Structures are given as C-alpha cells and as structure tokens.
Amino acid sequence: MSNELRTAELLARYDKVRAHSIELCAPLALEDYIPQPRYFASPPKWHLAHTTWFFEAMVLKPHFPDYREYHPQFSYLFNSYYKTIGDRAMREERGAMTRPSVDKVKSYRSYVDAAVKSLVDDTCAQEILRLVELGTHHEQQHQELLLTDLKHTFSLNPIFPVYESNSNRVADHNEQDGWLPMQEGIYEIGHKSNEFCFDNELNGHRVYLHEYDISKAYVTNGEYIKFIEAGGYKDFRYWLEDGHEWVKSQKIDRPLYWFKIDDAWHYFTLAGLQPVDPDAILAHVSYYEAHAYATWKDMRLPTEQEWEAACDQLEHGKRWEWTESAYLPYPGFKIAEGAAGEYNGKFMINNMVLRGGSVATPAEHFRYTYRNFFHPEHRWQYTGIRLAK
C-alpha cells in the first residue's frame, strides 16, 4: 500500500472512529457523563477525554513541533497508566472530576482533531501513521468500555435507566450446536498479515495441540440456571481456591446484573430490566464462574491456542470467551521503546486471556488473533463460556 493511499484511508478511519465515540454518547443526559461507582468503570466524559489525550500525548507532542497543548493539566487528568509520560490522577477518582465540563472535553476533541489532520499528510513518516492507527484502535477499545462501564453505572440505579430501547445486547441466541472435533497436530498461532494488530498478537508461531472437541455453541442462560439450581455456587468442589474465596467474600451466587423478582430471574440490560431469556447466550460471568461451570459439567475451557486453531469454523463475536490460558508473551515478544511500550506488556501477570469479541466490540475491531485479558474476577464485560473436552 502506498503512503498516499494509506494516509487517505487512515484519515477516513480516524474521522469515522472519532465520530462514533460522540454518537455513542448521544442517548446520554448530561448527568450520565460523570459518575464512577467502581474503580474499574470510568465515566463517559473520561473516555472521551482520555482517547483524545492519547493522540495529543503519543502523536502530536512528540511529532508536531508547532503544537501547543490544549491545557497544561489535561495530561495529569486523562493519562491512564503511562508512567513514561508522567504523573496522573488516581483511577478511582475519575468520577470526581466535575471539571472540565463535557462541553470543554468536546472542544478538546475538536482541537486535537484539527491538529492531527494538520500533521497527517502524504509526507508523514510511517512511524507517525502507525501511531495514529494505534490511536484509532485504542479508541475503539474505549468505545466498548464506554458502553460496559455505563451499563455497570446504570445497573446500580434502582430505577434501572434505559440507555436505548433497542440496545438489549444479551438477547442473541446460538446459531450453531454440537461439537467440533479437532485433530492433534501442529497449528499456526498469532498474527502474520500486514494488517494492524496489537503487539501482544505477535509473533506468529507454531504450537502442538492434542486431539480435542470444542463446542460450537456458547453456554446459554438456561444451561447456567441449572448450575445455580444444583447448588453450584455453594459446592467448593467445582471452584478453584481463589474463586471459592471470591464467591464467599463477595457473596456471589449469580451472574452480574441478575435479579430474582417474584421467583423469576431478570437481568439488567442497556434497554432496562428484562426477564432472563433461558435460550439466550449467557453473559457477565467471571473466569472463576466459567471454570466452575466447566468443572461441574465435567469439561473444561479451551486454551487460547485451541480456540484460535478452531475459530474459523466457529460462530464468535457475541461474547468475550474466557480461555484456560494465562496472559503471557508469545515467543519473541519485545516491549517497544517509549510510552507505547506500556500498552500491553506490563500487564502480563495475573490476567486470563479472552477471545472472540462481543456484542459491544466495534465491528471493525474483530480479529481471530485478538488477545483480550482481564483479572479472573472481572465480569462487567460481555463475557461468556464456550466449553471444550
């Protein structure tokens, strides 16, 4: 691809991604932009500002000599975890930032957008273009987080606010059933094309896999209710020790956002509180719950290598699927120099890998090689279960 063509395509992508973040906020009231009830769920206003700060800090300030930053304190407010760049506000205090206003943040976005478009032209170095491209994918990650963080905030409101009446996002059903048998052998894993990927997807390598079967279908709500009714949350035999301690200490006995009302299960969705559809695909369970359910079924979760080897024959993209793989570097992985090197590598401890994407993931953000990762107790993302045996 030529530099000129790449530049034109990149700017088109930039405009589309940046506009979509604003579109996601269209249903919000002004009051919805600010609250942060949990440390892991950032407010919409912060997401809009942080994704803008990313372009300012990673692209404009290092590569645009004439650039003047929008506000000298915005880096402190909207830096997430980049220690290379400097001090930052505490993560759990993002909801305390009533200022700058939402309008000021939108002005910040416009200011940075204009500067990026002034910088990016046919003479740009490939390094700059790659950073802009990384920024658009980073923003798509935050678009998903904006929705899932907002859902968590809304779920704590006893009147169960509606984000959009057509935004249930947990009503989808399986389109496949049965099992996919996979032969033992050597399989190619990891990103190998010239298209964009994150550094944790590199390098392409071969793995040996034993024979296994992987489910063509996700676990459904009805199937998981049987686990609940069988006392699955109370029987330590199905749980990893850390998971059992988590269940006891947090008093966990159901998926996140589930409520028992008049002896019937309901769940909170972005379209409000609704009855649980037993045939719909399960969502919002932790790795601990996924592992316990698989054990109860006398099965297991697939490894990320098993998932990737089979994925082109499986329906996916409806739930982030917990795997049995710890988040570790691939062979030859190297952390990049500078702030961009903090993007993935330093989190390769105490996280489990998820694969597949979800109903909140932007459509252009799917890849077979995409490696998501979260701590095993987290379940506010659209996480589900696929079994292996």
pLDDT per residue over 316-361, tens digit each? 899 999 999 999 999 999 988 888 887 888 999 999 999 999 999 9
Q: What pairs with residue 373 in β-bridges?
A: 353
- Answer with the one of 110, 140, 155 that is the final residue of a domain: 155
Q: Are residues 276 and 193 both part of a single domain?
A: yes
**What's the confidence (pLDDT) of residue 339?**
80
Q: Are residues 342 and 207 both part of a single domain?
A: yes
Q: How confident is the model at residue 279 (pLDDT cuts 50, 70, 90)?
A: very high
Q: Are residues 138 and 227 both part of a single domain?
A: no
For 50-54, what is the mean pLDDT? 98
**Mean pLDDT, rounded, of the chain:** 95
pTM of the model: 0.96
- Answer with the one of 140, 155, 170 that is the final residue of a domain: 155
How far apart are the C-alpha atoms of 137 and 354, rounded to whole Å? Answer: 18
Residue position matching structure tokens 């409101």: 157
Residue position matching structure tokens 């809304």: 154
Residue 2, pLDDT > 50, answer: no
In a domain? residue 171: no
CATH assignment at residue 287: 3.90.1580.10
In one-letter notation, the amino acid at residue 126 is Q
In a domain? residue 366: yes
Distances (CA, A) of 79 to 20, 43, 88, 197: 21, 14, 6, 23
Q: Are residues 142 and 12 both part of a single domain?
A: yes
Residues 297-320: pLDDT tens digits?
999 999 999 999 999 999 989 999
Distances (CA, A) of 363 to 8, 139, 359: 21, 13, 9
Q: Are residues 29 and 76 both part of a single domain?
A: yes
Residue 169, pLDDT > 60, answer: yes
Give the range among 100-109, 120-129, 285-294 with minimum mean pLDDT: 120-129
Q: Are residues 49 and 124 both part of a single domain?
A: yes
How far apart are the C-alpha atoms of 191 and 87, rounded to whole Å? Answer: 34
CATH assignment at residue 54: 1.20.120
Which residues have C-beta within 8 Å of that of residue 105, sequence separation ≥ 6? Answer: 45, 48, 49, 52
Strand-pair category, 320-326 with 383-384: parallel
Q: Are residues 151 and 252 both part of a single domain?
A: no
- Answer with the one of 123, 155, 187 that is the final residue of a domain: 155
Number of Cα atoms under 13 Å in the Cβ half of residue 36? 21
**What's the confidence (pLDDT) of residue 321?**
98
Residue position matching structure tokens 């037993």: 278
Residue 87, pLDDT > 70, answer: yes
For 58-62, what is the mean pLDDT? 96
In a domain? residue 287: yes
**What's the confidence (pLDDT) of residue 188?**
97
Q: How confident is the model at residue 5 (pLDDT cuts 50, 70, 90)?
A: very low
In a domain? residue 165: no
Q: Are residues 189 and 332 both part of a single domain?
A: yes
**What's the confidence (pLDDT) of residue 161?**
97
Helix (H, G, I), strand (E, B) or coil at 205: strand
In a domain? residue 332: yes
In a domain? residue 167: no
In a domain? residue 172: no
For 288-298, what is the mean pLDDT? 98
Nearest of 95, 90, 123, 105 to residue 2 by alpha carbon: 123
How far apart are the C-alpha atoms of 25 and 23, rounded to whole Å? Answer: 5
Q: Are residues 241 and 191 both part of a single domain?
A: yes
For 351-379, what is the mean pLDDT? 96
| Cβ(213)–Cβ(182) below 8 Å | yes
User: Distance between terminal CA atoms of the chain?
Assistant: 43
Domains: count for the chain: 2
**What's the confidence (pLDDT) of residue 338?**
81
Which residues have C-beta within 8 Å of that of residue 214, sequence separation ≥ 6? Answer: 179, 180, 182, 302, 306, 307, 310, 314, 386, 387, 388
Structural domain harbouring 216: 179-384
**What's the confidence (pLDDT) of residue 341?**
81
User: Taking the C-alpha atoms of 50, 55, 56 and 60 in order, what is their torsion angle to the nearest 10 degrees?
Assistant: 180
In one-letter notation, the amino acid at residue 102 is V
Q: What pairs with residue 384 in β-bridges?
A: 321
| Cβ(202)–Cβ(306) below 8 Å | no
Q: Are residues 150 and 195 both part of a single domain?
A: no
Residue 22, pLDDT > 50, answer: yes
| Cβ(243)–Cβ(182) below 8 Å | no
Q: Are residues 196 and 149 both part of a single domain?
A: no
Helix (H, G, I), strand (E, B) or coil at 141: helix
Residue 4, pLDDT > 60, answer: no
Number of Cα atoms under 13 Å in the Cβ half of residue 305? 20
Q: Are residues 104 and 194 both part of a single domain?
A: no
**What's the confidence (pLDDT) of residue 1?**
33
Give the range among 169-173, 216-220, 234-238, 361-365 with minimum mean pLDDT: 361-365
For 261-275, what is the mean pLDDT? 97
In a domain? residue 221: yes
